[in-house]
């Protein structure tokens, strides 16, 4: 009577099937894109499914195609069920008596209940795993050793925090002592100044980094050192022969051994030189003899006639 479905000669029939019609009855509203365009003609079983007959305004035939889907909706959150048909601009328009493919309407109460059931099962499984000591949380609840370790870690962290707050240690002084912070800031400022001088090419290190001539000179010195090292490795020069000549090393080793033997003999008082070094009486005798000779020479110089008597005879 309202004219939404049109007069009987302005209507055509379609049908669809659902596994569950959720209380849908004949006479229920049929909508296309939310607009009422017909009503439910019948609801009856067709095997394991439920077939629903639809009476729709013929003017909607161009909007209901093979790409359209029929779902069960609701007039309100708790209202009676209705049939919602999605319009489609593609596909072939359905003729009178054709079947509209059905779809599942998301957000139904059954979907919410199923989601709640799955969530409850996951929560139950999680609690069971925790009680069984599985995972980190489970071990935390059931493993006494892990609990003690975490408790010890927390206690150590509290001790460190207390030490920092009480101005103990380097970090504690740095946090609480303004002088330590100022000293650190001064050191950083000094470091920035040194870095700036190096960047400006000041000083030896700055010249090394910024002065090409200084770098070339250092490179030349390095090259000379490499050349000298190469000569030594080839056995050139005295140092090279000393490093590479086995015979020279043997002679030096033999000379060193003899010098060690002479030094040992001197240390032990062997020979004249050794006795001279260790025999005090011999040293005093020789010293006395030298003094007497020195006195005799002095007397001769003062009165040579006394000691020199020259007699000349002529034949």
- The domain segmentation of the chain, as residue ranges, is 8-104, 245-288
Q: Predicted confidence band at 42 (pLDDT cuts at 50, 70, 90)?
A: very high
DSSP 303: -
- Residue 212 CA from chain centroid, whole number: 38
CB atoms within 10 A of CB 216: 10
Q: At what angle do helices 271-278 and 280-302 cross, to 10 degrees?
A: 90
Mean pLDDT of 111-115: 66
Mean pLDDT of 171-194: 77
For the segment 82-103, what is each residue's pLDDT rounded down to a tens digit? 999 999 999 999 999 999 999 8
Which helix (H) or strand (E) segment is 156 a member of? helix 144-165
- Span 8-104 CATH architecture: Beta Barrel (2.40)
- Residue 121 CA from chain centroid, whole number: 39
User: Which pTM value belongs to this model?
Assistant: 0.36
Question: Do 90 and 57 touch, CB atoms closer than 8 A?
Answer: no
Most confidently predicted of 18-27, 150-159, 176-185, 238-247: 18-27
Mean pLDDT for all residues in the chain: 80
CA distance 5 to 8: 8
**CB-based contacts of 262: which residues, under 8 Å, 6+ apart?**
none
Pairing of the two strands 70-74 and 81-85: antiparallel
Amino acid 312: pLDDT = 54
CA distance 227 to 245: 19
For the segment 246-259, what is each residue's pLDDT rounded down to a tens digit? 777 787 778 888 88
How many Å is the Cα radius of gyration of the chain? 59
């Amino acid at each position: 009577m309202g004219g939404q479905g049109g007069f009987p000669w302005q209507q055509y029939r379609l049908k669809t099937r659902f596994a569950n019609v959720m209380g849908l009855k004949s006479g229920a509203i049929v909508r296309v894109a939310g607009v009422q365009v017909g009503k439910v003609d019948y609801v009856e079983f067709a095997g394991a499914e439920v077939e629903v007959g639809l009476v729709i305004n013929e003017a909607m035939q161009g909007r209901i195609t093979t790409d359209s889907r029929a779902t069960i909706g609701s007039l309100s959150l708790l209202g009676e069920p209705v049939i919602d048909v999605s319009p489609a601009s593609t596909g072939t328009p359905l003729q009178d008596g054709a079947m509209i493919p059905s779809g599942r309407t998301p957000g139904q109460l059954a979907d919410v209940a199923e989601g709640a059931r799955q969530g409850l099962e996951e929560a139950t499984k999680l609690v069971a795993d925790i009680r069984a000591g599985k995972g980190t949380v489970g071990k935390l609840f059931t493993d006494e050793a892990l609990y003690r370790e975490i408790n010890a870690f927390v206690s150590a962290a509290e001790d460190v925090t207390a030490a920092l707050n009480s101005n103990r240690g380097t970090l504690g002084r740095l946090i609480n002592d303004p002088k330590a912070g100022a000293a650190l800031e001064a050191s950083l400022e000094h470091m920035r100044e040194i870095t700036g001088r190096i960047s400006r090419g000041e000083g030896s290190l700055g010249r090394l980094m910024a002065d090409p001539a200084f770098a070339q000179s250092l490179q030349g010195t390095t090259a000379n050192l490499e050349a000298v090292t190469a000569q030594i490795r080839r056995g050139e020069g005295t140092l090279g022969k000393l490093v590479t000549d086995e015979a020279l090393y043997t002679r030096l080793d033999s000379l060193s051994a003899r010098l060690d033997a002479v030094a040992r003999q001197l240390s032990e008082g062997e020979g004249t030189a050794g006795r001279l070094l260790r025999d005090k009486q011999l040293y005093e005798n020789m010293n006395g003899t030298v003094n007497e000779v020195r006195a005799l020479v002095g007397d001769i110089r003062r009165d040579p006639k006394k000691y020199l008597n020259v007699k000349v005879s002529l034949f």
